[in-house]
Amino acid sequence: MFEPENSLEALMQAAGRDPAIVPRFYRALLDAEIYVLTPEASIAPGQHRSLTRQERINVASVEFQGLTWLPAFTSRKRISDYVKEPEACLGAAARDLFKMLPGANFWFNPLSECQKPMPASEIALLMNGAIFDKLRTADAARHEPVR
């Protein structure tokens, strides 16, 4: 049974059940700290460091249905559920990671009961705010009376 570790995970879980929660999840996601695996980062397990300006990072990826996805995690527990050996990771506001890795497909909490693939097209709509217009239109259509 999935137990949320933080408010983002609670919203993610609720959004899966109730479309009215989805806009709140997206707004929270932009500012939430998320994690990506950076296996070649020079850092000891359990240690923290900041990125230097213009630092290049190599982010772990997986192939699924012909696309490359970046596994991303909404809490440290979700990382340890996914990888069994200590792995270097980068934690940052999702908005910042989306800017650092433009055009990337993110897969939140792979192998978890509460997961969400976010293709680059969805992230682009989120970053420019257009996704909220699409959600409002979809919500209005759901509430239109049937004739």
* Domain ranges across the chain: 7-142
User: For residue 55, which amino acid is it?
Assistant: E
Q: What are phi and psi of 117, to 5 degrees?
A: -80, 135
Say what the pLDDT of residue 88 is.
Answer: 82
pLDDT in tens, the chain (147 residues): 889 999 999 999 999 999 999 999 999 999 999 999 987 776 666 666 666 677 777 899 999 989 999 999 999 999 989 998 878 888 889 999 999 899 999 999 999 999 999 999 999 999 999 999 888 877 666 666 656
Tokens of 61: 């990826």
Q: How many other C-beta atoms are found inside a 10 Å radius of the C-beta of residue 82?
A: 15
Rounded CA-CA distance 85/17 in Å is 33
Say what the pLDDT of residue 46 is.
Answer: 63
- CA-based angle 137:27:59, to the nearest 5? 115
Say what the pLDDT of residue 48 is.
Answer: 62
- DSSP β-bridge partners for residue 69: 62, 105
**Any alpha helices (H) in 18-129, and if so which ranges?**
22-31, 76-82, 94-100, 120-128
